[in-house]
Amino acid sequence: MTASLNTFGNQTFALQNALSAYSDEMYTSARRLSSTGIVGSTGMIDASTETYVGQMRFYKPTESVVNTARLDDAQNGGVSSFNSALATYIKRVGTYGHSQVNMTQVVSQKDGLAKIAKDFGEVKANDEHNAVLSTLIGVAKSEASYGAGAVADAVTAGITSFSSISATAANAVQEHDAGSIVTAGTAGSGSLSSTTGFYVDINAAGEFGGAATDGTDERGLVQDRGANGLEGAARAERLFQAVGMGFADYEPDFMYLVASPEIYSQLRSSNLVDSSTVTEGNIEFQTIFGGKFRLVMTRASQGDPNAYGATGAVNARSVKTSFLVKPGSVAMAALEVPMPVEIDRDAKSYHGGGSTDVFYRWGYIAHAMGYSWGGASDHFADLSDLSGANWRREMDVLNLGILPVFHA
pLDDT in tens, 348-394: 999 999 999 999 999 999 999 999 999 999 999 999 999 998 998 88
Confidence grade of residue 310 (pLDDT, cut at 50, 70, 90): low
Domain count, the chain: 1
Query: Is 14 part of a structural domain of the chain?
Result: no
pLDDT at 1: 42
Query: Is 26 part of a structural domain of the chain?
Result: no
Question: Residues 194, 144: contact at Cβ < 8 Å?
Answer: no
pTM here is: 0.84
Counting every residue written for the chain, the total comes to 408
pLDDT at 187: 39
Q: Give percent of the chain above pLDDT 70.
A: 80
**What is the span of the domain harbouring residue 109?**
37-69+77-407
| Cα distance between residue 286 and residue 269, in whole Å | 14
Query: Is 31 part of a structural domain of the chain?
Result: no
Query: Is 7 part of a structural domain of the chain?
Result: no
**Residue 229's CB: how many other CB atoms inside 10 A?**
7
Q: Residue 180 in 3-state DSSP?
A: helix
- When pLDDT is averaged across residues 157-186 and rounded to a whole number, the result is 49
Q: Residue 406 in 3-state DSSP?
A: strand
Among the residue ranges 83-92, 235-244, 277-286, 343-352, the one predicted with the least confidence is 277-286
Query: Is 32 part of a structural domain of the chain?
Result: no
Question: Residues 141, 310: contact at Cβ < 8 Å?
Answer: yes
| Cβ neighbours for 76, distance < 8 A, ≥ 6 positions apart | none
Look over the chain and give the mean of its residue pLDDT values, rounded to a whole number: 81
Give the residues across from 115 on adjacent strands. Answer: none
- When pLDDT is averaged across residues 338-342 and rounded to a whole number, the result is 94
Does residue 26 have a pLDDT over 90? Answer: no
Query: Is 125 part of a structural domain of the chain?
Result: yes
Contacts for 15-18: CB closer than 8 Å, 24+ residues apart: 17/109
Of 346, 343, 373, 348, the closest CA to residue 359 belongs to 343
| DSSP calls for 4-58 | EEEETTEEEEEESSTT-S---PPP-PPPPSTTSTTEE--TT--TT-SSSEEEEEE
Query: Is 216 part of a structural domain of the chain?
Result: yes
pLDDT at 173: 39
Query: Is 280 part of a structural domain of the chain?
Result: yes
